Amino acid sequence: MEIAPNFTAKQWKSLDLESNEDDWQKAIGVLCSRLSSRYLEPVDKLIEFEKKLKNSEKRFGFTVLEIDLLLIETLQAFKEGLESTDGKSKKVFVRFLKTSPYFCEYFHTKEQRDNFYKEFRCGILHQAEIQSSALVWSFGDMYERIEGMKVLNRNAVHEALKKDFADYIEKLKSPESLELRKKFKQKMDSVANRDTNA
C-alpha cells in the first residue's frame, strides 16, 4: 500500500536510514508528500476557492479547521515519534499549542490550551460545532479574545501551521537532528508496518 503518493510501505522499508543521507532526504520528501497531499493542499484549494467570495458568503471554515486540527495532532505525533495518539490526543494537541512558535503566543496558559482543545478540536471533530460561542472568521488576527468573545481566523491558523510544518521539515533535513530524525523514523515505521499488515 502507498504511504504517500507513488510511494509504498515496501519502498519505505527498503530505505537505508542508518548510513545513507540521500535516502534520508528521500524519506523526508515522502513525509512532505504524505502530509501535503492529505492535509495542506486540500485546505489550500478550499481557501483559494473562497478568495473571490464576500466574507459573508464563505462556508468552508469548519472544513478548513477540521483538516488543520487533525494535522496539528498528526504533526506533533511525528515530532514525538508516537505510533498512535490513542488515549493521549489532548496531551499531544496541547503540547503543539504550547511549543509551536507560531501558536504559543496565542495560548499562554494551560487553561487557554485546554479550552481550545475542548471547544475547537473536540467540538468540531466530534460534534461538528464549536463547544462555545466562539466565531470562525477568515480575517483578522489568528485568535482574538475580545470582551469575552473568542474569534478564530481559520486562514491564519492554516498559514501558521504551514510555517510550523516547513520549520520541522528544515530541521529534519539536517543530519545533526539525530533525535528528531529518530522520532520521525519511529512514527513512519509504524505507518509502514500498519499498511503492510493491513
Task: Provide the residue range defining the domain that includes 146.
Answer: 2-197
The pLDDT value recorded for residue 189 is 97
Q: What is the pLDDT of residue 55?
A: 84
Question: pLDDT of 87-97, one tens digit each?
Answer: 999 999 999 99
Q: Which three cell numbers stand for residue 77?
A: 505525533
Backbone angles phi, psi at 87, to 5 degrees: 75, 0
d(CA 172, CA 15): 16
What average pLDDT does the structure give for the chain? 95
Q: Model-level pTM?
A: 0.94
CA distance linking residue 169 with residue 184, whole number of Å: 10
For 59-79, how does the pLDDT look when each residue is reduced to its tens digit (9 = 90+)?
999 999 999 999 999 999 999
pLDDT per position as a tens digit, 111-139: 999 999 999 999 999 998 999 999 999 99
pLDDT category of residue 196 using cuts at 50, 70 and 90: low
**Overall average pLDDT of the 10-26 stretch:** 96
pLDDT tens for 33-49 read 999 999 999 999 999 99
- Look at the chain and report how many structural domains it folds into: 1
H helix runs in the chain, sequence order: 9-13, 21-35, 41-50, 61-80, 89-99, 110-116, 154-173, 178-197
**pLDDT given for residue 195 in this prediction:** 59
Q: How many CB atoms lie within 10 A of CB 101?
A: 10
